[in-house]
Structure 1
Amino acid sequence: MRIQKKCLYCNKQLEGRTDKKYCNLHCKSAYQYKKQKEEPERFYNKVDNQLKLNRKLLKEYNKAGKSVIRAKILLDFDSNFFTHYWKNQKGEVYLFVYEYGFLKKIEGGKEKFILVTWQDYMAKNLKNTKLS
């Protein structure tokens, strides 16, 4: 006896192959999208999405290669997410999101970011850089 199966997305009666799960490609795609949205976001995706957002913001506010902005301008920016760091000769540690870097500073009682773009000379010091 053959059991009549229904589409996993729209519940329409399926015809054809016995292992068929969807009535068409639209239902298959919609079902997969719905299923993915119901699952909790994976840690990797959270980190990757925040890195992309951080890079976008740094790029947007640093068109000249070096600039200083108030920290409250970068509302969605999360400084805990970065790809690497570089320490200058003064001992200041710039955190980078790919090719865009930032240094948090407090000047005049206000938190600011110094934004920079990665330069070739920074790579020479990268291997010997330590946070301590």
Structure 2
Amino acid sequence: MEPTSAQKQEKPTCNYCGKQVYGREGKKYCNVDCKNNFNSRIRSELRSKENEFFPKAFSQIKLNYRILHTYKEQLEQGNGLYMEIKELEDLGFDPDFCTNAYIDYREKLWKSCNNYYWQDQGGTIRIKYIQGRFDRHQ
């Protein structure tokens, strides 16, 4: 089936801005900026779909860090801090979300958010601050 004269005269439009495209046949964008913007939008949409399950974890880790950071001065002065887990949970802290976990030589589990380490001791949490590579001002 041959295209009609109306279909032959139909000019292609830019996939991003909708302006008429001039140049070679099959061209999809009117300029490089439209092409880049279109592809950036597609990549952004794909990333947001891929990360649907991550935002809660990332936001909780940030919240845990902010909560622990409020105790930084107290932690730097002593050898740690003991707090009731309920008190931290009331602030929004969730001990299940951390950036790292390790078992010490006493076979005790420590979890951390960057420089802040905590150990669950059955209703009480022991918190330590270890100055290190995550500090911005050393």
TM category, shorter: 0.5 to 0.7
Q: Distance in 1 between matches of 2:72 and 2:33?
A: 47
- How far the C-alpha of 1:87 sits from its partner, in A, is 2.5
Q: Which residue of 2 aligns with 1:39?
A: 49
Query: Residues 102 and 21 (structure 1 numbering): CA distance in 2 closer, same or farther, change over 3 Å?
Result: farther
Q: Which is higher, the Rg of structure 1 or of structure 2? A: 2
Q: Distance in 2 between matches of 1:21 and 1:48?
A: 39
Q: TM-score, normalised by structure 2?
A: 0.51
Please state which structure has a larger fraction of its residues in strand: 1
Q: TM-score, normalised by structure 1?
A: 0.52
State the Cα deviation string for residues 93-121 of structure 1 (Å, max 9, x = none). Answer: 32222221012234xxxx3322111279x
Q: Which residue of 1 aligns with 2:69?
A: 59
Higher RCO structure, 1 or 2 (CA under 8 Å, sep 6+)? 1
Are residue 99 (structure 1) and residue 115 (structure 2) matched? yes
Query: Aligned to 1:20, which of 29, 33, 46?
Result: 29
Please state which structure has a larger fraction of its residues in helix: 2
Would the aligned equivalents of 2:119 and 2:126 in 1 still touch at CA under 8 Å? Answer: yes
Are residue 85 (structure 1) and residue 85 (structure 2) matched? no
Q: Distance in 2 between matches of 1:54 and 1:114?
A: 14
Q: Distance in 2 between matches of 1:117 and 1:87?
A: 15
- How far the C-alpha of 1:74 sits from its partner, in A, is 4.0
- How far the C-alpha of 1:13 sits from its partner, in A, is 2.0
Q: Which runs of 5+ in 1 are unaligned?
A: 121-132
Q: Distance in 2 between matches of 1:67 and 1:119?
A: 15
Q: Distance in 1 between matches of 2:47 and 2:74?
A: 39
Q: Which runs of 5+ in 2 are unaligned?
A: 1-7, 133-138
Stretch moving more, 42-51 or 63-72:
42-51
Amino acid paired to 2:96: S
Q: Which residue of 2 aligns with 1:113?
A: 125
Q: Distance in 2 between matches of 1:38 and 1:73?
A: 30
Aligned-residue identity in percent: 12
- How far the C-alpha of 1:39 sits from its partner, in A, is 1.4
Amino acid paired to 1:112: T
Aligned positions, number: 112
- How far the C-alpha of 1:35 sits from its partner, in A, is 1.9
